[in-house]
Amino acid sequence: MSIKRWFGGAGLVVLTGALGACVAGGPGAPATEGGQQETGRGVSVGEREVGIANSDGRPDAVGRSTAPAPATSALPPVLTGKRWGTIVRTESFEGGVSLLDGGRLAEVDGDEGRQLFAPTPIGGKKYLVKAYKRSSTTPLCWVARNPGGGRPLIVEGAACNAQDRHQQFDVTPVTRDGRQVYLFSNSSAYLRHSARSGLILEESGDAQPVSYFRINDNGPAPVG
């Protein structure tokens, strides 16, 4: 592969200072893939409820935010937008996350797609997750999509737009077993692995499982 192996490179980023005392847990179990409510207090996921863009790119009835300029001094290096790295699900034994040329975020064990990511703060604790190929300095950004037909929400690529709510992701540092990992979410729908559908976005209920991800630092990201 042209980039560092999924488990190689700089490895986990250790969070220092006050931010190192961040939350030591995660949200509970997601709703079922089709958007139906599970037992307990699981919340149904629907286009209206979480404000996800339709498959043709048209947003539903949601507002657009104008976030203030972010302060990055207390962030882990991989969350400053100045470093890029591979993203690996902690439960995955091989392979990593890729934004495929066909547009969807998936897990692969080859070199296909965009496999270098630079979460870039845009204010209000929100991030654009920029996706690059090693040979390119022009990113695409993650965007939450509703493919319709009762299928689960997914992540695709789009031209970066910090004002698009569907591109504004939360990237939450979590300490698990003494290691720094991350949760990715958009409008309370969390990125997780589904045995049937691959990487999807689902709202959480009260219990496990969710998916945690490592960000393996691969050096300075392109400027801009």
The predicted-structure confidence for 17-30, as pLDDT tens digits, reads as follows 333 333 344 444 44
pLDDT at residue 74, rounded to an integer: 80
pLDDT above 50: residue 169: yes
- Number of Cβ within 10 Å of residue 16's Cβ equals 9
Q: pTM of the prediction? A: 0.69
Mean pLDDT confidence for 192-208: 84
pLDDT at 12 over 80: no
pLDDT value at residue 223: 85
Report the C-alpha gap between 201 and 155 in whole angstroms.
7
* Dist CA 186 CA 170 (whole Å): 6
Q: Residue 63 above 50 pLDDT?
A: no
Distance from C-alpha of 188 to C-alpha of 163, rounded to nearest angstrom? 18
What is the DSSP-derived secondary structure letter of residue 15? Answer: P
Return mean pLDDT, the chain. Answer: 77
Question: Which of 148, 203, 137 has its CA nearest to residue 170?
Answer: 203
Q: How far apart are CA 40 and CA 17, in angstroms?
A: 37
pLDDT given at position 167: 98
DSSP 3-state percent helix, strand, coil across the chain (nearest 5): 5, 40, 55
**What are the structural domains, with CATH classification, of the chain?**
17-58+70-219 (2.80.10.50)
48 DSSP assignment: H
- Mean local confidence (pLDDT), 73-90: 92
Instruction: Report the percentage of the chain scoring pLDDT > 70.
Output: 65
